[in-house]
Amino acid sequence: MNMPSPHPNVDETTPMLIVGGGLVGLSASLFLSWHGSSSMLVERHPGTAIHPRAMGFTPRTMELFRSLGIEEAIRRVEPPIPQGNQVLLVESLVGQQFDCFQEEVDSLFIDASSPVRGSAIAQDLLEPVLRTRAEQLGGDLRFGTELVAFEQDEEGVTATIRERASQRIRTVRAQYLVAADGSQSAIRKQLGISQHGTGSMGHFVSLIFEADLMKIFHERQAAMCFLSNEQVAIGSFVPYPGSAGRGDLFRLDVGYDPEEETLADYPEERCLHLIQAAAGIPDLKITLKARLTWEMNALVADQWQQGRIFLVGDAARTQPPSGGLGGNTGIAEAHNLAWKLAAVLRGEAGEALLASYDAERRPVADYTAEQMALLSQQRQGEGSAGITVSIRDVNTGYRYGTGAFAREEGDEHLPLARRPEEWQGQPGTHAAHLVLEQADEPISTLDLIDSHFILLAGPNGHHWKEAAQHAKETLHLELSCYQIGDEAGDLIDTENRFCEAYGITNSGAVLIRPDGFIGWRSKGANENAQEAWQTLTQALFTLLSR
């Protein structure tokens, strides 16, 4: 593994410095370790999240956590998925219903395009699981440590960090820096990177509290409620079911004008009154846990890479909480970036590969932020013009328009997102989930994806196996190949759907990147092993910027 070059007055070196230890920063550490790359993470807070914040992780996100070996750990602490719940517009939790914005929220957690169900876990329960696994995989996690200063040059990044308890200062030299330091990213601001999109869509006070309300949410079959009454003109009510030793929590968001008020204008007595008005229960007993302020917007950074520094998560883009995709999107960004950084650090890829992070993820962020802003406006009664796909398709059915894959003729006419089952193996789309059979046991095509490239060949694609072995040896990289057939082969396609789902003939093959996206395919030219090797090698050279 490449290490940072020597530098004067450096206390420590690390290939990768991650700034921010929330959902996205911890995920980045995990993904890098999974790919065999060391990293150091610094987080100014003393521990993981103490408030629930993000809640609800899609099947696609759970696929990533499953690959890291933490699905079972998450299942042990997650609450049950809400069954048949709705997003309602109501006078109060016990009052009149005016509208239903979304039915069957549980459908966002169970998807036929994935072998994994989603999770209703909240951020305060998920982050400790991520932290434990990151430490098990060798991640150097330093909570209670803040970034004081940084500068970069052509060979690396020099950062000054401070332990907040002891005030001890250390100088760290890293090959690259990953900024996961949130929506107010000091790193993004110092780099002078501007943002575009929809600015302020409202300011809110979040009230986190305990109360005996979960039964009412269940009776109303409500996953969350938007509110409209005299006391709470603009607001929303979200339950966080208890688990893992934590009781039920709730969050009430109420709009406020920062030019007229501050958090000091929300003393406990006023907060309790607002919660009682939102619940419609004047004598409700409440334990107030926290008061927080936040601004809703849909902003995307104009560039996600500057030299050796990369923006991920809210530092790269923010979007309204409508749809619940903020955390899911940030984790996907970390996943996309991690395999590319690891490939460069191992010497398997050229540094030009890293530019594909911005090229692939920023257009997806623009689209997602736009659609979630429109969804939020719809739920605030401002109409729904411009919404083109469902929340599910935004998260699971998007494609990359340009990046580290071999484009095919006509790709420019494809939409950015559609139902995931409508894609047929186009490079830049996510590999399709199919149930195959291996040693008389069912296995998903997605469970074959590992920390390296894999090649899936059709029933008559035996020449691809020889080509893959030759490419592996000559290019000095990990590459697995599976031949898929109806009777013979490494994996049995019992439903005879593989070739159609991936858009190839029986003699074709498809190359899947370490992040589960299709990098290249041969639809089925009658190539011998020598021709197949040359074609595959050229594809890998292209994908890895070699």
pLDDT digits (tens, 9 = 90+) for 78-109: 988 777 688 888 999 999 998 888 777 777 78
Amino acid 514: pLDDT: 97
What's the pLDDT tens digit per position in 417-464? 888 999 999 999 999 999 999 988 999 999 999 899 999 999 998 899
Amino acid 242: pLDDT: 84
Distances in Å between the Cα of 47 and the Cα atoms of 26, 64, 461 are 12, 23, 51
346 part of a folded domain: yes
Residues 181 and 306 in one domain: yes
Three-state DSSP at 524 gives coil
Residues 215 and 157 in one domain: no
DSSP 274: H
Amino acid 383: pLDDT: 46
Burial of 388 (0-12, 13-18, 19+ CB in 10 A): middle
Q: Which residue has the tokens 């990151």?
A: 134
Q: Would you say the C-alpha torsion 522, 526, 532, 538 has a positive or negative sign?
A: negative
448 part of a folded domain: yes
Amino acid 388: pLDDT: 58
Name residues whose C-beta falls within 8 Å of residue 215's C-beta, 6 or more positions apart in sequence.
none
Amino acid 105: pLDDT: 75
What's the pLDDT tens digit per position in 191-207? 999 999 988 888 999 99
CA dist., res. 133 & res. 72, Å (int) = 12
Residues 172 and 64 in one domain: yes
244 part of a folded domain: yes
Residues 464 and 479 in one domain: yes
Residues 338 and 279 in one domain: no
Mean pLDDT, the chain, rounded, equals 91
What's the pLDDT tens digit per position in 479-488? 999 999 877 6
Residues 324 and 351 in one domain: yes
CA gyration radius, the chain: 24
Which residues face 14 on adjacent strands?
174
Task: Examine the pLDDT at 30 and tell me if it is beyond 70.
Answer: yes
Task: Examine the pLDDT at 232 and tell me if it is beyond 90.
Answer: no
Q: Which of 238, 266, 295 is the last residue of a domain?
A: 295
Percent of the chain with pLDDT over 70: 95
Average pLDDT score over residue span 469-480: 92
230 part of a folded domain: yes
Residues 137 and 51 in one domain: yes
445 part of a folded domain: yes
What's the pLDDT tens digit per position in 333-347? 999 999 999 999 999
Average pLDDT score over residue span 56-60: 92
Looking at residue 244, its amino acid is: A
Distances in Å between the Cα of 262 and the Cα atoms of 60, 199, 266 are 39, 20, 8
CA dist., res. 379 & res. 392, Å (int) = 17
Average pLDDT score over residue span 157-183: 97
Tokens for 536, please give them.
């595959």
In the chain, the number of structural domains is: 3
Distances in Å between the Cα of 110 and the Cα atoms of 49, 78, 89, 113, 434 are 26, 15, 24, 9, 15
Helices (runs of H) and strands (runs of E) counted in the chain: 13, 26
325 part of a folded domain: yes
34 part of a folded domain: yes
Residues 28 and 164 in one domain: yes
Which of 43-57, 59-73, 242-256, 470-484 has the least mean pLDDT?
242-256
Residues 415 and 495 in one domain: yes
Amino acid 506: pLDDT: 93
Torsion of CA 92, 96, 101, 102, to 10 degrees: 90
Name residues whose C-beta falls within 8 Å of residue 460's C-beta, 6 or more positions apart in sequence.
506, 507
Percent of the chain with pLDDT over 90: 73
Task: Examine the pLDDT at 496 and tell me if it is beyond 80.
Answer: yes
What's the pLDDT tens digit per position in 364-401? 999 998 888 887 776 665 444 555 557 777 888 999 99
What's the pLDDT tens digit per position in 277-333? 999 999 999 999 999 999 999 999 999 999 999 999 999 999 988 777 889 999 999
Entry pTM? 0.94
Task: Examine the pLDDT at 142 and tell me if it is beyond 90.
Answer: yes
Q: Which of 243, 272, 295 is the last residue of a domain?
A: 295
- CATH number of the domain within which 223 lies: 3.30.9.10
Residues 468 and 536 in one domain: yes
Residues 167 and 273 in one domain: no
Q: Which of 295, 322, 349 is the last residue of a domain?
A: 295
Q: Which of 474, 455, 476, 469 is nearest to 522 (CA)?
A: 455
Amino acid 393: pLDDT: 78
Q: Which of 160, 178, 306, 294 is nearest to 236 (CA)?
A: 294
Amino acid 101: pLDDT: 80
- CATH number of the domain within which 73 lies: 3.50.50.60
Instruction: Give 8's pLDDT tier (boundaries 50, 70, 90).
Output: low
DSSP 92: S
Residues 430 and 484 in one domain: yes
The boundaries of the domain holding residue 271 are 203-295
508 part of a folded domain: yes
